Every structure is written in C-alpha cells, then in structure tokens.
Chain A
Amino acid sequence: MVSVKDVTKVYKRGSEELKVLDSLSLDVPEGEFVALMGPSGSGKTTLLNLIAGIDQPTSGAVVVGGRNIAVLSEGELAKWRSHSVGFIFQFYNLIPVLSALENVELPLLLTKLNKKERRERALTALKVVGLADRSTHYPRQLSGGQEQRVAIARAIVTDPLVLVADEPTGDLDAKSAEEILKLMETLNREFKKTIVMVTHDPRAADRAHVQRHLEKGVLQLR
C-alpha cells in the first residue's frame, strides 16, 4: 500500500543544509498498522508528512496505492490528499466554528456528493467513532477524547487508502488514549484501514502490528 523508496529529505536553513531523512526505504502492506518511533528530531514526522502528501522528498519515491506522489504538483497533491489520505493530528485541529457533524463533513465538500449525501456519510462516520449523539456539539463542548474521535471520523469519512496519525494520543489522558487506540485497532481490524502512526508512547506502539524505529533519519533494524 505504501512504499517509500530511497527517500532523502533535506531542509535548507540559509546556507546550511539539514538532512532529516537519509536514503530511507519503508514498505507498509495493505491493512497493516505500523508505529513509527524514535527520539525528537529523528525524522518520523517528516516521513509521515511525506506519506500523507503534505511534503515532498528531496529525492526518492513515495508510492501510495500504486501512485508515486513525489512527482505530483501542489495542486495534484491537494486533490490526491482529499480522497486518498486521512490525517489524525495530535491536537485534533477541529474547526471551532463548525459542529462535530460539520467538521466531519468538511472533506466531503470537495466531492460531488449533494448536501444530503454528505450529511448521511458524516453521520455514519460519527456512528463508527461512537459520537452520533454529539453531532450537533461544537468542539468546545466536547472532551479531548471526544474531539479526537471526531477528528478520526473526519479522517475516515472519505474512505481513504491510508490513515496517518501524528501522536494521536499525545494530548490525552490514559483513559481517553486507550479509547482512541481501541478505535484505531477497530478501524484497522474491521475496516481494513492501513494505518501509519507516529508515537513516543510505547503502550500506543504496542497496539500496532509493526514498530519501526528511526534515528537521525535512518530506519533502525531491531
């Protein structure tokens, strides 16, 4: 499903070049649940951004669902992201002026679905995460765990090829974190979603099928 081939990512800070990923290769089969771990600055978020198509490598290829997204233009990438990837942020990043249902419906505005169909789909996604009864609530009226579940509903509503999660439990208490991890397991197991998750938390990483460790931009063999 996801194939990262010999990817290098270099950031330029003035005249200085900073190599964040160094000839990195990674394969994530369809339906896999992979946890990316490593110390701060090891390049795991950069790798996640490349897989999600929100950044592009300096060299190498990132193939998701058979398409090399490293060669797409910014506009093509945006279009690709709208239907191929679901992103779960550490701080949920819901739009505060929109209700839970409207937040989930947001990515569907980019589709050709009519309003009724969009609402139905968004409600279905909220049902999957167990928050159908909170559809009219605004983010400020929800707990952290509930906000993250709405964010997950938003990530899955377009039925993407891959879900990427950047420390999805990093801002949650233990109980809420457990609920989120269970939900992600369910999405992986029952809905066959391919998940790539960055985490610092070993307990979260234990829920994944595979753990990969990065250090200084290189995948470690463990």
Chain B
Amino acid sequence: MKYLPFVFKHLRRNWVRTTSTVVAMAVCIFLLCTLRSVLSEVDGMLEASSASRLVTRHSVSLTFNLPMAYESRIQSVPGVKRVAKTAWFGGSLPAKKEGQADADAGSDSTTDWSNFFNNMAVDAEAYFAMYPELVVPPDQWQSFKETRSGCVIGSKLAKKFNWKVGDKFFLESFIPPYRRRSGPFEFVVSGIYDADLAKFPGTDVSTMYFHFDYLKEGVAPRDIGVGTFMVEIDDGNQAASVGKAIDALFENSSATSITETEQAFKASFIAMAGNLAFLLNGIGLAVSFTILLVTANTMSMAVRERRTEIGVLKTLGFSSAHVMGFVVGEALLLGILGGALGVFGSQGLLYAVSHAPGVSDILAGIGLTGLELKPAVAVLGFFIAVALGLFAGLVPALSAYRAKITDILRTV
C-alpha cells in the first residue's frame, strides 16, 4: 500500500498519455458492457417465449397482412388449441391534451411521436388465455371485455403516463390504413396488467392491448388485415409439424404464410438487424484486442522511458519483483480506472436510452423491456478491463524484471 502513491505519481507523469489510455480503455469497456447488455436482454426476451405458442405471419414480410379468413382455417388444423388475431397498431398520443382532443380530435391534430409506445389490437379472450403470465384483476378483465374501446395496459406504461382505470386517451397510428379522417382512436383504460417477473423474467409490462374488433370497425374493410396469428398448440413438441400443416393450407394462395415458434419469431425479428450476437461479440472482441495493444504500447513506452529509473530503483535495493510490481501496478491502475469509467458510462447510456421518451417504448415494442446494465455484465466488463491492464503490463514488467543494473547504468 505504501507504494501506491509512487505508482500514482508515475501515472501522472505523462497525464495526456495516461488519460488517453484510460479513455480508450473506458470506451472499450463501455462498448462491451452496452453490447453485452443488449445481447443479454435479447436472450432474456427469447427465453420468455413459450414453446407451445406459434406465430403465423406473411411469408414475405411482417409489413404484409394476412387475410382474417385464415383464422378459422388455422383453427381447424389438428393440434391447434386456440388462435388469436393480432395487429400492431403503431399508435402514439396526440400532442393535444385529452380534454382538447375530445373537442376537436380531427385529422389536423398533430401527433407527439415522442410518446410512442407499443400497442396492439388482439382477440383479447384467446390472446390472454395464451399468455397466463399477463395477469389482469378479474373485475378489470370483465370491464375490458364489456367495453368496446377498452384496453388493458401494462403496469409500467400506467406508471409512465400516470394512467388509472377509467382514464381516457387518444391514439394516432402512423400506419396509413389505420389513420382515420375522423381523427384518432379513443381508448379507455379498463384494466392494468402485471406479471410475476421473478417467475416469468423478460415479460413485457409496457404494452397496451385493445380489441381487434374495435380496430376492424374503425377502419375501411379493405384496409384491415392480420399482422400475425398467435397460435397455441396442444403439445409444444409438435410445433414443427403443426406449423408445417398451417403453412401447407396457404401454399397456393396469394398470401402464403410462415409459421414458427414464438422464440424463432422473436429471434428472426431481432435477426432483421443481421446476426446480432455475432456482430456485437465481434465488435467487442476487436475493440478489446485493439485496446490490449494500445495499453501494451503505453506500458512499453513508459518502461522504456524509465530504464534509468528502473536501474536506480534496483541499485537502491528494490528487488526485481518490486520493480515488476510497480509496472504491473501501473497497468492494473489503468485497467481499473478505464474499467470503472466504462462501466459507469455504459450504465449512464443504458439508463438514458431506457428512460428516453419514446425510445424505451420502441425497445419495449421489440420485446426489450428491461434494458439495463446487469451486475453480472458490469462485473464482467470491469474484470475484462483489469485483465487487459494486467496482460498489457506483463511483457514490459518482465522486461523490467530481467533488466540488469549494470546494463542499464552503462547506457546512461
């Protein structure tokens, strides 16, 4: 411990170099932690999927709808327990307050897209039966069933907008067929759902669900379609054969389908951005390796500059192990400082992103509900920084360890 001030003083000697190395290290750890957090969240989201739930969508793209008539045909496939139509509404709160919107909620009312959140039209009975993890109090559920414009909202969403049961609000969709001349859709909060996140980690509690029929009645008949059919099957082990049977039904139609497990569906949704895990891990690895070289170079320069001092220290009686310890100590300190800075930076960014208006709900829309720096990721990032520092300092430290006093002082 008594040598620590000595090590610190050496780091301060060339503060520009020390600072830039620490910042480089911090950026590396920041990237690693942030990317790992995203991956960990994606993994959590995929794990939250049930094997007995299938998703049927248009084979071309999610942006194409399937005909509503497919519902009964899917229901007839052996092994299918229930089917629920869903449509992603893409609605956002109008900029005007509810009171004003009541009066003149016309097409001229502007929309505040920063208040965007995930909202879906669903066949409520069937959909919620498939998702036992979404829990709505019985009285609220009854009210939702009986209210045409009713909706149930996740507890996180309710907290965000301070909505209570009975509150009314308007939503304006950005999807053209769902934009009405008569103005935004009006909704009333019938219930607030929650989930046991300890039992069902990764469950989204920030989505709003409303009746599919309400959407159907509100738009022109030619404009309504089904984004996805959620299909619950009797036996999760039969997912492949049931999915194949469903797709076979529409093989020769103008709207062919793809049916996959909910997990595969979410994974393919994420994979629209490419092989995310490979990409993120690749970036992390490349950055770490680069920083290892940068830090090793810094330490090598530091040791080369101080050859005479190393000779002097050894002459004064400091052992080779002492001198090696000083060099490793400096490199470790660089790692610790960079690691701490990187972890805090990542924590700050993830907090900012997950609390930014609109962004958090877009993330929730793709299932990333709890994007945060998990302690395990923070510890991993910090450990990697320390390890990078250690490895970077090892070679120069060994060179300092082996240096002979007479060789060093002869060149002075």
Contact = CB atoms under 8 A, between A and B. Distances in A.
Interface of A: 49, 52, 54-55, 74-75, 78-83, 87, 89, 91, 93, 95-98, 102, 106-107, 109-110, 115, 154
A96 B150 CA distance: 75
A78 B322 CA distance: 10
Given A87-B315, A93-B312, A95-B309, A78 B3 contact: no
Q: Chain A's interface: helix, strand, loop or mixed, by majority?
A: helix
A14 to B, nearest CB: 16
Contacts of B308: 93
A168 to B, nearest CB: 14
Q: Chain B's interface: helix, strand, loop or mixed, by majority?
A: helix
Interface hub of A74, A79, A93, A106 (most chain B Cβ within 10 A): A93
B314 interface: yes
Interface in B299-337: 308-309, 311-321
A109 B3 contact: yes
A80 B314 CA distance: 11
Contacts of B317: 78-83, 107, 110
A75 B316 CA distance: 13
Contacts of A81: 315-317
Contact of A54 (B3, B9, B319, B405): B405
What 10 A-B pairs have minimum CB-CB distances, sorted nearest first? A82-B317, A78-B319, A81-B317, A97-B9, A54-B405, A93-B312, A107-B316, A97-B13, A55-B406, A87-B315
Given A95-B309, A97-B10, A87 B412 contact: no
B2 interface: yes
B12 interface: yes
A82 B314 contact: no
Contacts of A96: 13
Contacts of A102: 9
Given A75-B320, A98-B6, A109-B2, 17 more contacts: A55-B405, A74-B320, A81-B315, A87-B316, A89-B312, A89-B412, A91-B412, A93-B308, A93-B309, A97-B10, A97-B12, A97-B13, A106-B6, A106-B313, A106-B316, A110-B318, A154-B316
Contacts of A74: 319-320
13 contacts: A54-B315, A55-B405, A74-B320, A78-B319, A80-B317, A83-B317, A87-B315, A89-B409, A91-B412, A93-B308, A96-B13, A102-B9, A110-B318
Contacts of B405: 49, 54-55
A87 B13 CA distance: 25
Contacts of B321: 75
A64 to B, nearest CB: 14
Contacts of B9: 97-98, 102
Interface hub of B10, B312, B315, B319 (most chain A Cβ within 10 A): B315
Interface residues of B, number: 24
Contacts of B311: 93
A54 B408 CA distance: 11
Nearest to A79: B317
A1 B230 CA distance: 95
B5 to A, nearest CB: 8
Contacts of B319: 74-75, 78-79
Contacts of A75: 319-321
Contacts of A80: 317
Interface string B271-300: 000000000000000000000000000000
B406 A49 contact: yes
B318 A95 contact: no
A47 B318 CA distance: 21
A75 B327 CA distance: 18
A93 to B, nearest CB: 5
Contacts of A82: 316-318
A109 B312 contact: no
Contact of B2 (A49, A52, A89, A115): A115
A181 to B, nearest CB: 22
Contacts of A110: 316-318
A76 B234 CA distance: 78
Given A49-B406, A54-B406, A55-B405, A93 B314 contact: no
Interface in B385-399: none
Given A54-B405, A55-B406, A97-B12, A78 B318 contact: yes
A186 to B, nearest CB: 22
Nearest to A164: B315
B307 to A, nearest CB: 11
Nearest to B306: A95
A171 B73 CA distance: 99
Interface in B12-64: 12-13
B406 A93 contact: no
Nearest to B309: A95
B6 A109 contact: yes
Interface string B72-106: 00000000000000000000000000000000000
Contacts of B312: 89, 93, 95
Contacts of B409: 54, 89
B406 A78 contact: no
Interface hub of A80, A91, A109 (most chain B Cβ within 10 A): A109
Nearest to B316: A107
Nearest to B323: A78
B22 to A, nearest CB: 18
Contact of B412 (A83, A93, A95, A115): A93
A43 to B, nearest CB: 13
Contacts of B3: 109
Contacts of A54: 314-315, 405-406, 409
A28 B3 CA distance: 36
B356 to A, nearest CB: 44
Interface hub of B9, B10, B12, B409 (most chain A Cβ within 10 A): B409
